[in-house]
Amino acid sequence: MVTRRDFIQVASAAALLTGASGRLSRLAAQQRLSEADLLRFPAKGQVTLLHIADTHAQLRPIYFREPSVNLGVGEAKGKLPHVTDRDLLATLGVAQGSAEAYMLSSADYEALAREYGRVGGFDRIATLVKGIRAERGERNVLLLDGGDALQGSYTSLVSRGADMVSALKELGVAATTGHWEFTLGASRISELFGGVASQGSAGIPFLANNVRDTDFDEPVFDSTAFHEIGGVKIAVIGQAFPYTPIANPRWMMSSWSFGIRENDMRAAVDDARARGAQVVVLLSHNGFDVDRKMARRIAGIDVILTSHTHDALPAPERVGDTLLIASGSHGKFLSRLDLEVKGGRVVDHSFRLIPILADAIKPDPAMAKLIADIRAPHAAMLDTEVARTDGLLYRRGTFGGSLDDLICDALMAQRDAEIVFSPGFRWGTTLVAGEAITWDDIYNATAITYPAVYRTPMKGADIKAVLEDVADNIFNPDPYYQQGGDMVRVGGLGYTINVDAAMGQRITGLTHLGTGKPIEAEATYIVAGWASVNEATKGPPVWDLVGEHLAARHVLSPQPRHAVKVVRAG
């Protein structure tokens, strides 16, 4: 667990944004901060690892609010990264209202968003990456992407990931792995990334030790890539999201099987050591809690670059001899880890979670041009205002957010449904009060390759079964049985959930909000939803319905909702 002492020792780069007064305005940040400030770092050893993850096709600077609720279960209950809002600030010793508070928590988010501005942007990331390479030398730096890069925007959807491939190549990414990438379909992934011992059109190694073909149980992708960095032989082992065919449509990759495959990972680590690797890095899309368990159970991994759960931690978490690095999402952070290697092992390290505060970083010209060229054919449509919001719109959180409420309201109205299910996706940008809601924003929240909005009758017992099934995927106390994402969002429905209860016993008090009556097991209700994993799902694309709903209202006024009541054991 990261302690306050750990936080102070690593001196997170975000701390540079607090001056004598403890706070800086956006204008002061623009005037007083530079790339040199953000790049200032106590360099160590021969090797520099850089890591980005879960960028979800966000090429431009955005707003992104961290969750106010991120519940941990089992051994993870009450531990980082499952500590949020002001509790997180207290745990880390971070001052309220500071830049660190803005980047790491949801506390006072809207006020701080106006003060510190947008985050991310591949042109800003490129500036910092080039600065680090100039400082350390090209041959001493290895940049890795944790996956979920090729999905989450309109341009990524219509280009089938080509826009993000070009951005990753321009950035100089040495390897990636995947999850949402697979929803482009197996043929497209093979076209872009090739397979075992073959290179795809992207020219970027796609590492996935845990993906096998279903016919012969043979590897689909390379497991490991070796690099000579700073005179040190480094093995990078890739791990794709283990539950992709469950969380996403299996028919899109029907000839491939996934899984955690712990024994295969152990064998890959042993093989890397046998082939002379002095440092073994796991480029993982398991999720933080899964990787924390894996680090305890598999010896020989020096660094796990974890992703999928979108966590951002200002210091590594040490599990035995393994360092876990969590680099956040949506381009909000760039992780830098320097390693000192002696006698074939890591003896020291230095780390910084570098905040990508867009106003403080000069855009890299080459990347900025690439992004402009990608967006140019679609800019007029994407920049079109559909409505405005006079409140905060956000998605991230264990049980929902105002952006999810908007989608549920749209589906309920446009599909004339009593109840709505909306998936607990963690991707999607944030809008602050007073902003225009554009088509760009709508696609940032809905851009997937299976967007049909279904409308179907369901028995009350089946509605409860859906909620129980998703709840066990999220709240199983064994991380190896947690299948990612947040709890399914609901519209027109209220319930109580005991997240620590046994499977099938978490959901009680199901209530039809339209009538105020309990949901009856044998009664039939009209239910709408989207992102069904079933191949034959029919219905209009979700973005069209959300757009129609917004256009009819002009101004959106999001309000807090309390339809889901949470109970914890003890």
pLDDT attached to residue 39: 84
pLDDT attached to residue 20: 28
Helix ranges restricted to H, 20-108: 26-32, 35-39, 85-92, 99-104
pLDDT attached to residue 98: 87
**Extents of the domains making up the chain:** 4-373, 384-567
pLDDT attached to residue 121: 98
Sheet holding 224-229, edge to edge: 224-229, 232-239, 279-284, 303-306, 322-326, 317-319
CATH architecture under which domain 384-567 falls: Alpha-Beta Complex (3.90)
pLDDT attached to residue 31: 44
Residues of the chain where predicted confidence (pLDDT) is lower than 70: 1-34, 570
DSSP H/E element including 386: strand 385-389
DSSP 413-453: HHTT-SEEEE-------BB-TT-EEEHHHHHHHH--S--BE
Distance CA 488, CA 384 (A): 30
Q: What is the pLDDT of residues 368-400, one digit of tens each?
A: 999 999 999 999 999 999 999 999 999 999 999
> What is 4-373's CATH number?
3.60.21.10
For residue 501, the one-letter residue type is: A
Burial class (CB in 10 A: 0-12, 13-18, 19+), 380: exposed
pTM of the model: 0.94
Contact status, residue 207 vs residue 176, Cβ threshold 8 Å: yes
> Which candidate, 90, 79, 103, 80, places its Cα nearest to that of 29?
103
The rounded percent of the chain whose pLDDT value lies above 70 is: 94
Contact status, residue 40 vs residue 348, Cβ threshold 8 Å: no
Q: What is the pLDDT of residues 469-488, one digit of tens each?
A: 999 999 999 999 998 789 99
> Which candidate, 81, 314, 307, places its Cα nearest to that of 176?
307
pLDDT attached to residue 155: 98
Q: How does DSSP classify residue 377? A: G
pLDDT attached to residue 122: 98
> Which candidate, 120, 108, 17, places its Cα nearest to that of 63?
120
